[in-house]
Amino acid sequence: MKRRIEDEFTHLKISRQRKYQLRMQRDKRCTECGEPALEGSRCLKHLVKARERQRAKRGLKRRYRNTLSYRLESLAA
């Protein structure tokens, strides 16, 4: 019995990780952990993680309080 997943991404020449991310996006799941995504393409936990990663990379000092992940964070608190 075949157990391979066959869908629109199966035959694309992209990495397995990228396919996973595309499937998660299609299904409205977090692209990192597969939890249901809130808005954007990640769950709250990973939205925050991605935001902090970007901050560190760019060396930003300011925080943009209107950013989606902050708003969701304050809703969750």
For the chain, the helix, strand and coil percentages under 3-state DSSP, each to the nearest 5? 45, 5, 50
Minimum gap (Å) between residue 2 Cβ and Zn ion: 30
C-alpha span between 54 and 74 (Å, rounded): 20
Residues that bind Zn ion (CB under 5 A): 30, 32-33, 35, 43, 46
Closest separation in Å from C-beta 15 to Zn ion: 19
Min dist CB 67 to Zn ion, Å, is 17
Nearer to Zn ion, 19 or 38 (CB): 38
